[in-house]
Chains A and B, each alone.
Chain A
Amino acid sequence: MATVLRSQCAFARLFAGKTVQILNNATDLGAKLGPGSQSVLSRKYSNYAHSPFVTKIKEQYDYEIVKKPAEWAFVKRLLPLETIPAVTPKETYPSGWIPPKEEATSLPYFIARTKNHEVPIYLDITYRGMRKITKIRKIEGDIWMLNDEIKSYLKQKNGRYVETRVHEIGRFIEAKGDHVHDLMQWAYSKGF
């Protein structure tokens, strides 16, 4: 402790009487420092912009404040989106994205779109690629009827029985194997 104090004093003695001059050298050209900003000891700041060399500078440049400027439209475009925008209906969607159809809501079961307007069908790969499970999320309505339909559709598509598992509380269905493409096609055909 004593050694630290002595070294600090030694440091202070070096700069005694010429602090203002030294700090003026450190700041931007011609900047004036307010009183009380002189810190003799050297410090490390995380950011130059937040160091007293910048924050303690007194304003000296001439500037003009423009209220409600015409350029504010350019600023608005840069600010982040508050919510993900809704898709306006178009004639064609070249990317292959398909909008949900109105008639899907009259079915006894329903798969809701995600907030990014995608069908929530995912592939879970576990055990280093040994186990692949297709997961359909956000199911509403009659989940067991949807399960039966998926089972028969996948059997007809693959020519074999496909195991599925229904999670009622989590409202999702898992099918054994990679059936993402098939199930996507099925969901689009139903209008989800």
Chain B
Amino acid sequence: MGSRQITEKSLSMLRSLPRISLQNIRDNPNSKLKNKRGRGQHGGDKHGAGNKGSGQRQNFMRLGYETGNNPFYLRIPQEHYYRGHHLRREYPPLTLHNLQKIIDKDCVDTSKPIDIASLIRSGFYNFSPDLKQFGINLTDEGADIFAAKINIEVQWASEQVIAAIEKNGGVITTAYYDPHSLLLLKNPKKFFESGQAIPRRMIPPSDLIEYYTSAKSRGYLADPEEISKERVKLAQKYGYTLPNIEKDSDYTMLSERKDPRQIFYGLEPGWVVNLKDECILKPKDQELLSYYNS
């Protein structure tokens, strides 16, 4: 016999049952697991750990040790492509399919430029700068279905991704952020509450200069003229007609870029944001202005 309408039925049952009070409530039966060591048959036994030795005492051998054999990890040749993996920069991926899903669910506003701060705000992307993660790697999974016109700034993007975004009349920029700037972008509210001045964004390290100055990867330090040439070239390579963004109604949004020294859109380095009184403290001191503008 099953009851119909679970919630309604149980609420109407309660109407005719005694009042729920501190005296007549209880947890579900058997919801608490009693992990007591029994003393009866098997209960007082060795719990499957065997008699004496490493099994009973859990003093296991070190990982990889094979009781005197030449261990497996030393027997096979070394794989050098893993050397220095703990020092390399990591870019946690975000697929174009997931980006489209975020846009479909209205968790990110496409009428504004999208950067790592707005993607973290959406709740569907996260990363940790303290684990040497340097931002978003936008990957090409779902490039076929992607159909949003956006101005997006990521840290790493492949050629297919750039083509997929530019095909829909969007704009993509790859930009470098130092770990400290990424921490601010990850939790801007926490930073504003700390009452510190917004710092400058650092310039990329020497091995990344090439990537971020090249027009092919749409680097933020590349020449805009070169980028517009590369946009046409890519359109010819992938065989799509490039939408003219100069005549687009959202041209001001699509042409919005951050300064290479800027971390947040619209907020300049050196400013202090006061969330409580809703005001911004802007430095006037010549010394500071020259420092933050350098």
Touch A–B, Cβ below 8 Å? yes
Seen from chain A, the residues whose Cβ lies within 8 Å of a Cβ on chain B are 49, 61-69, 71-75, 77-81, 84-88, 90, 92-97, 108, 116-117, 139-145, 166, 168-169, 171
Size bracket, chain B contacts: 35 or more
7 new A-B contacts, CB < 8 A, other than A49-B194, A74-B265, A171-B6, are A61-B285, A66-B281, A80-B121, A84-B123, A87-B104, A94-B100, A96-B145
B232 at the binding interface (Cβ < 8 Å) = no
Q: Is the CB of B279 within 8 A of A97?
A: no
Give complex CA distance A88, B106 in Å: 7
User: A65 near B281 (CB under 8 angstroms)?
Assistant: yes
B126 to chain A, nearest CB (A): 13
For A81, what are the chain B residues with a Cβ–Cβ distance below 8 Å? 107, 121-123
Contact between A75 and B6, CB atoms less than 8 A apart: no
Question: Between A and B, how many residue pairs show CB distances below 8 Å?
Answer: 123
B288 at the binding interface (Cβ < 8 Å): yes
Contact indicator A71/B28 (Cβ below 8 Å) = no
Q: Which chain A residue has the least Cβ–Cβ distance from B97?
A: A95
* B104 in contact with A93 (CB, 8 Å): yes
- Using Cβ atoms and an 8 Å threshold, which residues of chain A touch B227? none
Is B47 among interface residues, defined by CB-CB distance under 8 A? no
A71 touches B266 (CB 8 A): yes
Instruction: Evaluate contact between A169 and B285: CB separation under 8 angstroms.
Output: no
B112 CB contacts on chain A under 8 angstroms: 77
Q: How far is the CA of A72 from the CA of B142 in the complex (A)?
A: 35
Assembled-state Cα–Cα distance A171/B7 (Å): 9
A145 and B121 CA atoms in complex are apart in Å by 40
Selected A-B contacts with CB under 8 Å, 19 pairs: A63-B282, A64-B281, A64-B284, A65-B279, A65-B280, A65-B281, A67-B278, A73-B266, A74-B265, A75-B280, A78-B121, A80-B189, A85-B107, A87-B106, A95-B145, A139-B6, A141-B5, A144-B4, A171-B6
Complex alpha-carbon distance, A139 and B188, angstroms: 38
Instruction: Say if the beta carbon of B75 comes within 8 Å of chain A.
Output: no
Question: Does A72 contact B280, Cβ atoms closer than 8 Å?
Answer: yes
Is B245's beta carbon under 8 Å from chain A?
no
Contact present for A67 and B6 (CB under 8 Å): no
CB within 8 Å of A: which B114-167 residues: 117-118, 121-123, 142, 145-148
Contact of B6 among A74, A87, A141 (CB under 8 A): A141
- B3 at interface (Cβ–Cβ under 8 A)? yes
- For A69, A73, A97, which residue has the most chain B Cβ atoms within 10 angstroms? A69
Q: Is the CB of A69 within 8 A of B280?
A: yes
User: Does A84 contact B4, Cβ atoms closer than 8 Å?
Assistant: no
